[in-house]
Amino acid sequence: MPATRTSNRRVRARAPETTREALVGAAYAQLAEHGFEGLRTREIAGAVGVNIATLHYYFPHKQDLVRSVVGHAMARFRSTLSGSGAPADQLRAHFEGLRLLSRKEPQLFAVMGELALRAARDPAIAAILRKTDDTWHETLAALVRQARKDGALDEQIEPEGIAALIVAALKGTYLIPVASAQPERLDQTLHQLERSLGLRRKTTRRRP
């Protein structure tokens, strides 16, 4: 039996999920750096140390790999919505989480921008992003509605409207390459959104 075939079987038998995740991670990094036009399956396989046959074992079609990259990016983005704590605190945590991601994982915003641009020509990706945007909007509107009911936000704030504003403003930051590469631009956007909500950032008081 050829050595490459034996090696591929060992990879699959040893840690299929690890190999799959590594391939998704390599594709994610390549997409962030080169965009969809630079997404090369052979280079992705090479980055993980497997051959193209192994990549096709896990992802028979390139679109399957792209869908997994989309899922990975969405999961990182959704990680900023904790789902626990008071609604106003969840909103603060969401904004702070986005600030942190923009500094620690700038490639996420590059990938999100690429996906948003690709959606105009790819119905499958458009459907995934539309569902994500709808869920994001609904989650934000529900948090604003409850925070307003709790008295943490002004009663004049309209939940659906402010949720739409937040989604549009933040999507704008990663659709513009220059802005997505500069965390301070995102921070400025978030600061203005916090002011619109009357949502002050919590600060840790230093001991004298």
Whether residues 90 and 149 share a domain: the answer is yes
Domain assignment present for 208: no
Domain around 190? 68-197
Q: Does residue 178 share a domain with residue 144?
A: yes
Residue 37 located in a structural domain: yes
Whether 41 and 125 map to the same domain: the answer is no
Please indicate, yes or no, whether residues 93 and 19 belong to a single structural domain of this protein: no
Q: Which pLDDT belongs to residue 176?
A: 60
Query: pLDDT per position in the chain (208 positions), as tens?
Result: 444 454 455 444 446 679 999 999 999 999 988 988 888 999 999 999 999 999 999 999 988 998 899 889 888 888 898 778 899 999 999 999 998 988 888 888 888 888 888 888 889 888 888 888 899 999 999 999 999 999 999 999 999 999 999 999 888 876 665 445 567 888 888 899 999 898 865 544 444 4
Q: Residue 139: what pLDDT? A: 93
pLDDT at 205: 44
With respect to residue 150, please indicate whether it lies within any of the assigned structural domains. Answer: yes
Query: Is 204 a domain residue?
Result: no
Q: Are residues 142 and 75 in the same domain?
A: yes
Q: Is residue 128 part of a domain?
A: yes
Residue 202 lies in a domain: no
108 shares a domain with 33:
no
Helices (H), the chain: 3-14, 16-34, 41-48, 52-58, 62-78, 87-104, 106-119, 123-149, 159-175, 177-180, 183-197
First to last CA, the chain: 72
How many domains would you assign to the chain? 2
Please check whether residue 159 lies inside any domain of the structure: yes
Among residues 1, 6, 45, the alpha carbon closest in space to that of 23 is found at 45
Same domain, 104 and 168: yes
pLDDT at 15: 61
Query: Does residue 191 belong to any structural domain of this protein?
Result: yes
CATH code of the domain covering residue 24: 1.10.10.60
Q: Final residue of a domain: which of 60, 88, 108?
A: 60
Tokens 């969840």 locate to 90
What CATH number does the domain containing 109 carry? 1.10.357.10
